Amino acid sequence: MKPSADPILFLSGAGLAAWIWDDVRRDLAGSRQTLVAVRPTNDRARLADYARAAVDSAPPGRFAIVAHSSGGVIGSEIVRQTPDRVSAFLALTAVIPSPGESFLSAMPRPTRWLLNAAMRLAGTRPPDSAVRRGIAHGLNERVADHIVTDFTPESPHLYRDRTTPGEWTAPRGYLHTTKDRELPIALQRQCAKNLGTAWQDELNTGHLPMLEDHRSVAGSITRFLNHALLAGTP
């Protein structure tokens, strides 16, 4: 099946509800099927459980992944567990650890130590003020309120579990966000390097471009999938 025709499975960042993709999914509705991955409800779920729940959300056959933020870690695990299912992988300001590493290990020092300590003391839900300053930066107050209200804590294993070692050969891309306060551009570039991507693009937005500029996100996804079609699949 051609990558451009395959369904798209969206992987949301930590704590974020499925509705963040609604506008992008409407933009893409005329060209392809889209779905948002389900997350485990167990607050002690392992990374493998997140990957399994996401794959179970997908229709039979092959699919393309668009992974946002910590969804990049889940996507990295999916492609190593079921490489035959994934026809293309686009990271959208996403954390991509090196093979066999974790979300935390992808963070620079001392950020990884601070995050680990904060999770031990306060869990995985950041303060509302931090969500507004970081994740929701660039959004209007109404949408930021919605993000804060719907934010759901994740299992700490999402951040600490190591991905399965190994590589994959599906076409890969990285979509950078240049005004991102949650994932600085230097870290995004390192994640793109970890991904080994041959395709990159950028948007002049914060960490949630699907809400700040959904049409540009949909356009980048379409361009990437067209590139993936030309690149071919293994």
Residue-level pLDDT at 232: 63
Residue-level pLDDT at 1: 38
Cα dihedral across residues 152, 153, 159, 160: positive or negative: negative
pTM for the structure as a whole? 0.94
Residue-level pLDDT at 15: 95
User: Residue 199: which residues within 8 A CB-CB, separation 6 or more?
Assistant: 171, 172, 173, 174, 224, 227, 228
Residue-level pLDDT at 231: 76
Is the pLDDT at 234 greater than 80? The verdict is no
Specify burial of residue 74 (Cβ count, 10 A radius: 0-12, 13-18, 19+).
buried
Is the pLDDT at 149 greater than 90? The verdict is yes
Number of structural domains, the chain?
Answer: 1
Contact 137, 206 (CB under 8 A): yes
Mean pLDDT taken over the chain = 93
The predicted-structure confidence for 195-232, as pLDDT tens digits, reads as follows: 999 899 999 999 999 999 999 999 999 999 999 988 76
Paired strand residues for 86: 63
The predicted-structure confidence for 113-142, as pLDDT tens digits, reads as follows: 888 888 888 888 999 999 999 999 999 999
The predicted-structure confidence for 3-43, as pLDDT tens digits, reads as follows: 558 999 999 999 999 999 999 999 999 889 999 999 998 88
CATH code for the domain of 20: 3.40.50.1820
Confidence of residue 171 (pLDDT cuts 50, 70, 90): very high
What residue numbers bound the domain in which 24 lies? Answer: 3-231
